[in-house]
Amino acid sequence: MGVRRDPKNPNRKEKIFGFNAVIATAVELTLGIELPVACITIAGNSREGNQYIPLKKQIAKYQGRTSKIELADAKYDELHNYEFSRAHGAIPIIDYNVRNEKVNLPALKQRGYDQNGWPYAPCGALTRPNGFDFASQRANFSCRRQCLETSNPDIKKFADHCRHWINYQGFSTHMSNKQFPRLITEVIRGTPRHKELKADLAAQFPIRHFGGLRGAVLDCLFSKFFTLRSSVVINCLPPSR
């Protein structure tokens, strides 16, 4: 029996009975073959976010492979996990944990960007991604002159004297992952590609069972090792009798 903070509500504590088994598996996407390649067992009240790096080191040591894209849920949204992934040439795509941030619309507009890290233009319109610049390590955004098609009277009024209107893309700006290492990722949050990767994880890996254990899944994509990815089973408890 143990106690830990509720992953969905950091202000609440929850009781844990049992243990967590973190199991990594390599998956051949075309054939749908899934094989376990690494495992870590921890106490039920341990912080799962701290097991990300040990697991990846175990895979590298015994499998001799590294990831190119790493998908994980919000439990692994820790700065050191992003730093480790990027230092080893991988792209971390980890669900963002808002923690105590205010994410209502007035608060987002006041800070200048939404929950995906997309900035607001001076007129108040939400900008759109224009790709990630790997050389500068920043995501590019522009308003794409939404004022031409919007029905928002405030944006239309602002457009009458907007100095960015003459530009082909309108207002342009960027968000650096050096300044926002958790929020801004190389595959920009909220884009079709980002949604595709997350949806593929959910579709390919529903709740799995390993030796009577049950849990959710964390996913990593491998390159130069067929077409492989690893999944991690977390929050595992003995099956109810």
Number of C-beta neighbours around residue 190 at 10 A: 15
The secondary structure element, H or E, covering residue 157 is helix 153-159
Give the pLDDT band (50/70/90) at residue 192. very high
Gap between the Cα atoms of 204 and 217, Å rounded: 10
When divided into structural domains, the chain yields a total of 2
Structure tokens at 216: 């959710």
Gap between the Cα atoms of 126 and 208, Å rounded: 38
Contact of 182 with 76, CB cutoff 8 Å: no
Kindly compute the dihedral angle of the four CA atoms of residues 212, 215, 218, 223, in this order, to the nearest 10 degrees: 20
| Domain identity same for 59 and 128 | no
pLDDT value at 16 more than 50: yes
Gap between the Cα atoms of 84 and 92, Å rounded: 9
Contact of 142 with 120, CB cutoff 8 Å: no
Most confident of 4-18, 128-142, 223-237: 128-142
- First-to-final CA distance of the chain: 18
| Domain identity same for 115 and 225 | no
Gap between the Cα atoms of 219 and 231, Å rounded: 4
Share of the chain above pLDDT 90, in %: 37
Gap between the Cα atoms of 145 and 131, Å rounded: 17
Domain assignment present for residue 220? The answer is yes
Centroid of chain to Cα 106? 24
Q: Report the pLDDT value the prediction gives residue 14, as an integer from 0 to 100.
A: 72
| Domain identity same for 114 and 156 | yes
Phi, psi of 83 (to 5 degrees): -65, -40
Amino acid at 116: N
| Domain identity same for 39 and 82 | yes
Least confident of 2-6, 103-107, 214-218: 214-218
Phi, psi of 203 (to 5 degrees): -75, -40
| Domain identity same for 9 and 84 | yes
How are beta strands 91-94 and 228-237 bridged, if at all? unpaired
Mean pLDDT of the chain, nearest integer: 77
pLDDT value at 126 more than 70: yes
pLDDT value at 218 more than 90: no
> Residue 117 belongs to what domain range?
105-176
Gap between the Cα atoms of 106 and 237, Å rounded: 41
Domain assignment present for residue 119? The answer is yes
Contact of 232 with 213, CB cutoff 8 Å: no
Burial category of 28 from C-beta neighbours within 10 Å (exposed 0-12, middle 13-18, buried 19 and up): middle
Domain assignment present for residue 196? The answer is yes
Domain assignment present for residue 184? The answer is no
Cβ neighbours for 127, distance < 8 A, ≥ 6 positions apart: 118, 119, 120, 121, 141, 142, 143, 144, 171, 173
pLDDT in tens, 19-54: 777 776 665 666 666 667 777 887 766 777 888 888
Rounded to a whole number of angstroms, the CA Rg of the chain reads: 21
pTM: 0.74
Q: Report the pLDDT value the prediction gives residue 61, as an integer from 0 to 100.
A: 86
pLDDT value at 215 more than 50: no
| Domain identity same for 44 and 115 | no
